[in-house]
Structure 1
Amino acid sequence: MTYTSDFLRTLEARGFIHQITDAAALDAAASAGVVTAYVGYDCTAPSLHIGNLVSIMMLRHLQQTGHRPIVLMGGGTTKVGDPSGKDEGRQLLDDARIEANKASIRRIFERFLAFDGPNAAIMTDNDEWLSGLAYIPFLRDIGRHFSVNRMLSFDSVKLRLDREQPLSFLEFNYMILQAYDFLELNRRHGCTLQMGGSDQWGNIVNGTDLIRRVDGKDAHGLTTPLITRADGAKMGKTAAGAVWLHEDSLPGFDYWQFWRNTHDADVARFLKLFTDLPLAEIDAVMAGDINAAKAVLATEATALCRGRTAAEAAAATAAATFAGGAGADLPSLAVAAPVTILDALVGLGFAASKGEARRLVAGGGARIDDVAVAADSAMVGPGARVSAGKKRHGVIVAG
């Protein structure tokens, strides 16, 4: 359909929309006035990662088009664990670790959203209402609106059951708690839209249904497509692990370099999803040299998450480190198929033996595409840069 609201027109043009519960009704609401929308983030680590960045950018576009975002910190739901997209249960965290993670994550959002002025973003924590729930009243008032038959049909549950992986009763309750979050936010803040990744569709629809059944109100859901790279890999996963948004978890240069190493086929799409550049400017960037476009992506994406100063410093470091273009005057190792980081370090002459290479990895001195390698079993293939320390760099080429 052709959207009339700036909000949905922006999301559609930039590639954010996968499913909407009632697109026409949401578009009409966003055209008529201010829509309050939320995304929830559990506090399972001190930092969010690039997999969370799509939803953060949606909240940013929501606010930029005149609406009000809510960041829901999952202090309560983190105690349960979301089974969506998981093959096994999460390790449960104690209250102190959850609070520490929550405090660390809060700082990330201050770079993407405005918490004062018109349409100021709201940050709240579902522990405020979940931890105080009385079990029997909750079952009578909320639980009776959920069909176990339907809950068993959701992908988050079917995945675990089909693979014969255990699904605890604790985790099974997660979708009910998420639906209750939506109801509470609707009552407290007039929130009428929940957004999230495509794996959250069932949970989001549960929330819209609960609001309708309990309070007789309309609410909406919107999900984004699963973001994968051109090679089919899940966005944000590398040989060294997750790409963290927090500088305490991943240095600014490493974050910049992750974007610089984007596959050619992904550059235009990622410029639309992960930067604020206008679409016309993106078209102009893509009309030029692809490596220059990758540098623009890296700098603009890093500027949003880490600040403009950090982004420009990373770009300058990269220019100095790899002066003369990718692989120019750098040692190379030709391989027919991916090899382990140990073989790569020895083959490039950065280590005299696998034992020395293993010590280099253990000490944090080995890097693939400027991301520290966490395990000596990490694989590296043609097109990758391998570094040992800050001054020794090489490239893996097809051979």
Structure 2
Amino acid sequence: MDLLQDLQWRGIIYQQTDEEGFKEQLKKEMTSLYCGVDPTADSMHIGHLLPFLTLRRFQEAGHRPIILVGGATGMIGDPSGKTQERQLQSIEKIQHNVECLKKQLERIFNFEGENGAVMTNNYDWIGSLDMISFLRDYGKHIGINYMLSKDIVSSRLEAGISFTEFTYTILQAIDFNHLYENYNCKVQIGGSDQWGNITTGLEMIRKVQGEGAKGFGFTIPLVTKSDGTKFGKTESGAVWLDAEKTTPYEFYQFWINTADQDVVKYLKIFTFLSKEEIEALEESVQTEPHLRKAQKTLAEEMTRLVHGQEALDTAINISQALFSGDIKSLTAAEIMQGFKDVPSYKHEDGAEITLVDLIVNAKISPSKRQAREDITNGAISINGDKVTDVQYVLSQNDRVEDQFTIIRRGKKKYTLIQY
């Protein structure tokens, strides 16, 4: 099975501008392909991953990936998928975001060898472009009617679109033309919402480079969940690649909680496992779903890819400790990850305190009477150990690295006590 057949099997191909021509181009020579992202935030989220992982598949097949971080286009904002104008950010903020995104993207690609990845920033060529040159050299080649026919523009006409965002598609077309001219880049890869921008880029190449110039566009379908809810969102918001925004443990948990109906699809599009490996896991979903082998494999592959092996090991350790109730085996750093979003209480003076007083002060139980009843009934655990002594006094021995104590009431209500 060749690369395009593999992509077809994985369900990654959505649209191509010239399927047969693209197939011949890949056979003919090592081909340079690019995918871009605008630095509208200081981290990508998992919704950004699929186009770049697809770009990496082309690299593994011997082609050269060009990664574009839009330091210039990020100042404008892509109207695609938006119902209102984006809030413009400062140059300093955009540059900070560019550096953050570059670090995340560097984890995905190999930058060594003949087909080593190339990192680019479109501010390097658009930032110095003056208005007259923009209008004469590029604006002249793209007609208003052509732009109005694009979904990314037409969908905004009723609500309103500024001239700034209206011209975004031309800026992205300039990118494709620049990479074609300077890097021999023949292909742009993007999500399905980028079809209009990609085809405008091909039109720009044809007009600027001449009729003999040939480029290709390739888009990837929107990732969906079987239950109809939006992929990549949790109750607490987006699943970020930045470990400070979404911890590796939370990242791991997102993937391991994938529904049986979705897990095989995600293994196909997000991981680099072979067809045989994925089919074996698909069989496991059908015959032994309780083992959740497919979900565990998906979570391991994705966490290792984005955060590395050490972070994966930590995420697994936290998961196992929480499942078994062995909280004492966790380090303070692991507790900070695993209990990031649970209610917390600061025991200010750090002195010894009765368990009854602590759980009332921390609002774990509403009153001392209820607290005593909870303890007597075995509903209260300290660091995973059940405590039934209403006279119990917490000491330094109940703290993890002298920083935290985890109190659990019932099966699921955790509270993080900080010192």
What amino acid does structure 2 have at the position aligned with 1:298? A
1:240, distance to aligned residue in structure 2 (A)? 1.2
Structure 1, residues 235-290: CA drift from partner, whole Å, max 9, x if none? Answer: 21222111111213211000000001112111000011111111111111221233
Map of 2:97 onto structure 1: 101
Alignment of 1:212-291 (within 5 A): 212-216=206-210, 217-288=213-284, 289-290=288-289, 291=292
C-alpha distance after superposition, 1:287-320 (max 9, x if no partner) = 1233221111111111111112212321232122
Per mean C-alpha deviation after superposition, the further-off stretch among 291-300 and 265-274 is: 291-300
Taking the aligned partners of 1:350 and 1:278, their CA distance within structure 2 comes to 49
1:21-32 matched pairs, under 5 angstroms: 21-32=17-28
How many residue pairs get aligned? The number is 332
Is the alpha carbon distance of 1:168 and 1:312 closer, same or farther for their aligned partners in structure 2, counting shifts above 3 Å? same
Cα distance in 2 for partners of 1:89, 1:286 equals 43
- Structure 2: tracts of 5 or more residues without a match: 326-341, 344-362, 368-404, 414-419
Structure 1 position 351, deviation (Å):
7.5
Partner SS, residue 192 of structure 1: strand
Match of 2:320 in 1: 319
User: Which amino acid in 1 is paired with 2:4?
Assistant: L
Question: What pairs up with 1:97-176 in 2 under 5 angstroms?
Answer: 97-162=93-158, 164=159, 166-176=160-170
Deviation at 1:32, TM superposition (A): 1.4
- More displaced 10-residue stretch of structure 1: 34-43 or 128-137: 128-137
The Cα shift of 1:85 comes to: 0.5
| Contact 1:126-1:181 at 8 Å conserved across structures | yes
Per-residue deviation at 1:69? 0.2
In the alignment, which residue of structure 1 is the partner of 2:412?
Answer: 394
Cα RMSD, aligned residues only:
2.1
Distance 2:142 2:223 in 1: 30
Letter in 1 for 2:412: G
- 1:191 maps to amino acid: C
- Greater displacement, 18-27 / 279-288: 279-288
The answer to which of 60-69 and 88-97 deviates more is 88-97
In 2, Cα distance between equivalents of 1:211 and 1:197 = 20
Say which of 199, 205, 208 aligns to 2:202.
208
- Which structure has the larger Rg? 2
Letter of the 2:35 partner, please give it. V
Classify the secondary structure of the residue corresponding to 1:39: strand
**Map of 2:43 onto structure 1:** 47
Contact 1:299 1:312 in 2 (8 A): no
Identity among equivalent pairs (%): 43
How far apart are 1:180 and its partner, in Å?
0.7
The separation in 2 between residues aligned to 1:147 and 1:309, in whole angstroms, is: 52
Provide the residue aligned with 1:293 in structure 2: 294
Q: Residue 391 of structure 1: CA displacement?
A: 6.1
Question: 1:184 corresponds to which residue?
Answer: 178
How far apart, in 2, do the equivalents of 1:220 and 1:310 lie?
38
How far apart in 2 are the matches of 1:390 and 1:280? 43
Deviation at 1:104? 0.9
Aligned partner (choices 83, 102, 105) of residue 79 of structure 2: 83
CA distance in 2, matches of 1:227, 1:46: 22
TM-score of the superposed pair, with normalisation by structure 1 = 0.79
* Stretch moving more, 196-205 or 280-289: 280-289
Q: Letter of the 2:323 partner, please give it.
A: F
* Amino acid aligned to 1:222: F
Q: 3-state SS of the aligned residue for 1:46?
A: coil
**Distance in 2 separating the partners of 1:152 and 1:391:** 60
> In the TM superposition, what is the alpha-carbon distance from 1:390 to its structure 2 partner?
6.4
In the alignment, the residues of structure 2 paired with residue 390 and residue 173 of structure 1 have an alpha-carbon distance, to the nearest angstrom, of 54
Residue segments in structure 1 that go unaligned for 5+ positions in a row: 325-340, 343-348, 354-388
Q: Distance in 2 between matches of 1:76 and 1:167?
A: 19
What TM-score comes out, normalization by structure 2 length? 0.75
TM-superposed CA distance for 1:350, in Å, is 5.8
Question: What SS class does the counterpart of residue 157 from structure 1 fall into?
Answer: helix
Partner of residue 379, structure 1: none
1:232 Cα deviation after fit: 1.5
AA aligned to 1:157 is: V
